[in-house]
Amino acid sequence: MSRLADAIACGEFVVTAELGPPKGTNVAHLLEMSELLRDHVHAVNVTDQQSSVMMVGSLTVCHLLLNRGIEPVFQVTCRDRNRIALQSDLLSAAVLGITNVLCLTGDYVTLGDHPQAKPVFDLDSVTLLKTVAVLQEGRDLSGKALTGVPSYFPGAVVSPAASPLGPQIAKMEKKVAAGAKFFQTQAVYDPAQFEAFVRQVEYLGVPILVGIILLKSAGMARFMNSNVAGVTVPDGLIDEIGSVPRPERAARAVAIGARLMREMNAMCQGVHIMTLGWERHVPRLLAEAGLAPSPSRSTNGE
């Protein structure tokens, strides 16, 4: 079982963060950023061609992190691979010792840097979760037996700020039925809205890690409101981050993020920080939120 799974099972308040692989073979900066996160998170998600932009593969970076004693979460999207390739990558992850898997459908290719690419979508997030369950039963999707049975800790995503919210909850139910053991949410900026969401899905009994993205600027907030599905930044927060001079924005962004975390921590089982290149601010964010580093958040190479 993964350390992430153990932490959730023990009732720890779980902290995860996110890293995006580089476009190219130089992984030095990525590994440097991973070291900034090491002692502050239970696990590090590695994005899978996020926003349909071609990058180094998630599986490779997860392997690099694991070799450095940092627990990875292997993000897997259905956009670029059929069920043969998806099953192969899941088995490859298990062989490498990677057990945390976040199952995603994936953004459409027109959002990325290769809009002429042909999307696959042979499976979606729900059927990918079912695939994980089938592999753990010792067979593949064609019913053929596996020589060696993998073990995974599968998770999924949900958008608490989506409108309407009903379809999100309905799909969340399907994901739990398909085997999702935890959820990481899209970014949340309204604690009252998140509390209402949590109350509506409490009956599912599944751990939820609330998503946090630091607001770098008012322009970024407006862009997310217009272009990122399931994200709503209230006007008050846009005005707040827009009211400070550029040199002070990082500190104000951390203060806003920490405030949101303090207000929502009691509503959920953890937090998922989407860094977007601001990994260096994670230690300060967690400190201001009152989340001191825990020994269980790092293997320290052991």
CA distances from 227 to 23, 223, 231, 232, 233 (A): 23, 6, 9, 10, 12
Domain ranges of the chain: 3-290
Q: What is the pLDDT of residue 108?
A: 85
Q: What is the pLDDT of residue 2?
A: 85
Q: What is the pLDDT of residue 237?
A: 96
pLDDT (average), residues 244-262: 95
Q: pLDDT tens-digit profile of 12-59?
A: 999 999 999 999 999 999 999 999 999 999 999 999 998 889 999 999
Q: pLDDT tens-digit profile of 203-233?
A: 999 999 999 999 999 999 999 999 888 899 9
> What pTM does this model have?
0.94
pLDDT (average), residues 155-163: 96
Reported as half-sphere exposure (CB side, CA atoms, 13 A), residue 171 has a value of: 20
Q: What is the pLDDT of residue 295?
A: 53
Q: What is the pLDDT of residue 300?
A: 44
Q: What is the pLDDT of residue 297?
A: 60
Cα torsion angle, 138, 140, 144, 148, sign: negative
pLDDT (average), residues 148-161: 97
Helix (H, G, I), strand (E, B) or coil at 78: coil
Q: What is the pLDDT of residue 1?
A: 64
H helix intervals, the chain: 3-9, 28-37, 58-67, 83-96, 125-136, 166-178, 191-201, 218-227, 235-242, 249-264, 282-288
Q: pLDDT tens-digit profile of 177-203?
A: 999 999 999 999 999 999 999 999 999
Please report, in angstroms and rounded to a whole number, the separation of the first and last CA atoms in the chain.
Answer: 16
Helix or strand run (H / E) with residue 121: none
| Rg from Cα positions in the chain | 19
Euclidean distance between CA atoms 248 and 84, whole angstroms: 49
- Neighbouring C-beta atoms of residue 153, cutoff 10 Å: 21
The CATH code that applies to domain 3-290 is: 3.20.20.220
Q: What is the pLDDT of residue 171?
A: 97
Mean pLDDT of all residues in the chain? 94
Nearest of 135, 134, 104, 154 to residue 4 by alpha carbon = 154
Asked if residue 293 has a cis previous peptide bond (ω within 30° of 0), the answer is no
CA distances from 31 to 16, 55, 75, 142 (A): 16, 15, 18, 38
253 — pLDDT class (breaks 50, 70, 90): very high
Q: pLDDT tens-digit profile of 64-77?
A: 999 999 999 999 99
Q: What is the pLDDT of residue 68?
A: 96
Q: pLDDT tens-digit profile of 273-292?
A: 998 989 999 999 999 999 87
Task: Considering only the C-alpha atoms of the chain, give the largest distance between any 2 of them, rounded to a whole number of Å.
Answer: 61
